[in-house]
């Protein structure tokens, strides 16, 4: 399965305002809306990180958006952090603006949703989760000045932004592999092969150890645990049907 790990960075919106706190910004006060500044991506299991950045309003910006559209069209699934709420809708907006067709619908693996559902961490920010799980840290930078430098075309700022963006994808892959056994509704890797030997639906390993049974309302299934990633799964066919009246 080709899983694309993706992270984007965006520009801030440029607006007119009369103050700093509790402001209501109307449409008439918008000078320039937010747009994609850059993206970093890699295929899971590959060493190569792909990166592209451009200031909005020129030909290179369109090329940047077309490139990520092509990668999404090639992927079997996309993995991101808060991407269902941010990265993918933001990219879709750029596709729409450039009169591009939607990329094909593919499963989205949003690791922030996994963190929210399965754990009770003090913070769900990647800046906290990475060090807490000892998988690495985000690149430290000067804050707002980094974005301002990129907007102004500063080469050193762009160099730092690329390093920052790419490191987020490195962390994303490490977190994905760490969370793999905890991800519900992961794309079933058994569907990605013609081989008949059962595989772990999350990591694709054939090292499955039968451990007990999984019981539904009226059926019983053989239960397995993957010896590679630790994911629990069950057989497709039942081994026993309960002699009970089904409740409806």
pLDDT for res 233: 82
Number of residues written out for the chain = 248
pLDDT (0 to 100) of residue 48 = 97
The percentage of residues in the chain with a pLDDT greater than 70, rounded to a whole number, is 94
Nearest Cα to 153, choosing from 16, 58, 15?
A: 58
Rounded to 5°, angle at Cα 127 from 146 and 106: 95
Tell me the CATH number for domain 3-182. 3.30.420.10
Tell me what pLDDT residue 27 has. 96
- pLDDT bin (cut points 50, 70, 90) of residue 163 is very high
More confident residue, 244 or 96: 96
pTM score > 0.75 for this model?
Answer: yes
The share of the chain scoring above pLDDT 90, in percent, equals: 72
- The domain spans of the chain are 3-182, 189-241
Tens digits of residue pLDDT in 125-145: 999 999 999 999 999 999 999
Query: Does residue 56 register a pLDDT over 70?
Result: no
Residue 244 has pLDDT above 60, yes or no: no
Helix axis angle, 155-179 to 111-118, nearest 10°: 50
Mean pLDDT of 135-156: 95
Q: At 179, list the tokens.
A: 């969370």
CB neighbours (10 Å) of residue 146? 19
Between 14 and 223, the more confident residue is 14
Mean pLDDT of the 144-168 span: 95
Pair of tokens at residue 61: 């910006």
Residues 6+ apart with CB under 8 A from 30: 13, 14, 15
């Amino acid at each position: 399965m080709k899983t694309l790990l993706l992270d984007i960075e965006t520009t801030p919106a440029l607006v007119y305002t009369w103050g700093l706190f509790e402001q209501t910004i109307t449409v008439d006060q918008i000078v320039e809306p937010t747009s994609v500044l850059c993206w970093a991506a890699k295929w899971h299991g590959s060493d190569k990180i792909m990166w592209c950045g451009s200031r909005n309003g020129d030909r290179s910006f369109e090329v940047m958006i077309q490139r990520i559209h092509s990668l999404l069209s090639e992927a079997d699934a996309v993995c991101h952090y808060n991407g269902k709420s941010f990265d993918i809708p933001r990219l879709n907006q750029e596709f729409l603006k450039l009169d591009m067709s939607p990329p094909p619908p593919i499963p989205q693996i949003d690791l922030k949703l996994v963190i929210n559902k399965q754990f009770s961490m003090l913070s769900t920010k990647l800046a906290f989760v990475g060090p807490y799980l000892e998988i690495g840290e985000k690149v430290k930078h000067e804050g707002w000045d980094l974005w301002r430098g990129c907007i102004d075309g500063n080469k050193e700022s762009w160099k730092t932004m690329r390093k920052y963006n790419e490191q987020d994808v490195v962390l994303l892959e490490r977190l994905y592999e760490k969370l793999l056994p905890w991800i519900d509704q992961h794309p079933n890797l058994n569907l990605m092969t013609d081989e008949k030997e059962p595989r772990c639906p999350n990591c694709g390993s054939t090292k499955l150890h039968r451990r007990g049974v999984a019981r539904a309302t009226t059926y019983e299934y053989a239960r397995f645990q993957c010896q590679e990633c630790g994911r629990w799964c069950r057989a497709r066919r039942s081994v026993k049907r309960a002699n009970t009246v089904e409740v409806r």
